[in-house]
Chain A
């Protein structure tokens, strides 16, 4: 049982020796070391920003701003804390600001902006096996539409916790540290988010 539990990838963890060496080098101005740190985390950063903001341009802005802030402040970073927690805290704060500013949560639709212009993500994620089966494709679109709706109905904090746990595989304790709250509070947010998902999707899956 429990084989479905997501492995804890990308989760903040105590800094290992390699990472500590990179951070030390970056603190002394080694840009290549800093770039290696960036490359270790930047896919996750873009993923979080894309999932939360639904816009490549906004995700791009969050990426640039987050890593520039890290670059400017890395000399102040203490090696006895978690680098990824620090980075993700910056990223989630930037996303949160953006979400509040644009009230994305209220306006969210399945249409996302892409490099090639607006695109309905419900179209883009229809799986190959569904293409030849209109009935299945329709079900899939309806299901995704419901998922979008319920994601849009989550509070900002529930949305962040859900994103970090479900898609980034971070543990609740690390999520609590990242969001500046307790593990228990993060657990409650996750609980409420998954309850809403279940109510919205339970009779449909």
Chain B
């Protein structure tokens, strides 16, 4: 690359959008050209400034959006699922050919009960005010009975508001559980963020290590990796990082794992990186490994 193309491609380089050959050529030129090095530093500062300009999503807005969408989906789902549910029930009756007239009658009757159940108020979800009442009730199963009675099986979700610091036992336990078990990746990541600010590392570290290696969401795995940075020199963390480097399917996570491993070099680091270079199919991660090995004065290949 010449000065002009380096200038043109600086941002794309930082975004990791150049081919490995272009990256190599870019780096070779920047290392040799003082002007381009200065320009490249400016480009990095511009990007850093842009990073700080991101608008954060207000958690209250997210909660409101989710709640209202859930209500709309319930309504849409009730309308859509109503008839299908009756049909499924009918098919479960395994109607014999000879019983078809009776089944037709049953269909009319079911339609009648169905109409009675669905034309009054929508049955789900029921929003109930008050802390001790369920916030959401979801009808799981219903069975029409004689004399217009109906038998319902209902899932109830209760809501309670708690506030306190991470040092409060209950809050901490709930946050740890949310970081480990919540079905919402955003909640898992936010819980980790809150927990890492307080010295609860003894309980938190196993949660972070588990998330780093097993969470299905790469954003959460990155968050766990970030929270583990202060412990990058510990044996269990290094072991987990090595596993991540060799097995995680997300190149962003693998790249961050390399950084943390290299930051706290150990006896095995070069060997692990050499292994990665051999099997890595992502050009960016491979290049990062090669750079780390060069910085360590280690050979790129194994002999």
Contacts and interface: CB of A to CB of B under 8 A. Distances in A.
Interface of A: 1-10, 16, 18, 29, 31, 34-36, 38-40, 42-43, 46-47, 50-51, 54, 56, 59-60, 63-64, 67-68, 71-72, 112, 114-115, 121, 125, 127, 143-144, 147-148, 165-167, 169, 171-172, 187, 190-191, 194-195, 197-198, 201-202, 205
Nearest to B18: A2
Interface in B48-105: 48-55, 57-58, 60-62, 64-66, 68-70, 72-74, 76-77, 80-81, 84
A147 B219 contact: no
Given A43-B57, A198-B42, A165 B15 contact: yes
10 contacts: A2-B288, A4-B48, A43-B186, A56-B61, A60-B61, A68-B72, A127-B52, A190-B11, A197-B50, A198-B42
B12 A191 contact: yes
B185 interface: yes
Contacts of A60: 61, 64-65, 68
Contacts of B52: 125, 127, 144
Given A1-B30, A5-B16, 7 more contacts: A7-B251, A29-B84, A35-B73, A39-B185, A46-B62, A51-B54, A198-B42
A199 to B, nearest CB: 10
Q: Which of B12, B45, B69, B70 has the most CB of A within 10 A?
A: B69
A1 B222 contact: no
Contacts of A2: 13-14, 16, 23, 27, 284, 287-288, 291
Contacts of B51: 166
Given A7-B252, A187-B17, A205 B45 contact: yes
Nearest to A43: B186
B183 A67 contact: no
Contacts of A43: 57, 62, 186
A112 B49 CA distance: 19
Given A38-B69, A40-B217, A47 B15 contact: no
A172 B12 CA distance: 10
Contacts of B186: 39, 42-43
A98 B86 CA distance: 41
A4 B74 contact: no
Contacts of A34: 73
B44 interface: yes
Nearest to B81: A29
B11 to A, nearest CB: 4
A68 B77 CA distance: 11
A51 B80 CA distance: 34
Interface in B1-30: 8, 11-17, 23, 27, 30
Nearest to A62: B65
Q: Which of B11, B216, B251, B259 has the most CB of A within 10 A?
A: B11
B213 interface: no
A83 to B, nearest CB: 14
Nearest to B155: A32
A167 B251 CA distance: 17
Contacts of B278: none
A63 B69 CA distance: 8
B218 interface: yes
Contact of B42 (A18, A195, A202): A202
Nearest to A172: B17
B128 interface: no
A205 B25 CA distance: 26
B269 interface: no
Contacts of A205: 42, 45-46, 48-49
A71 B73 CA distance: 8
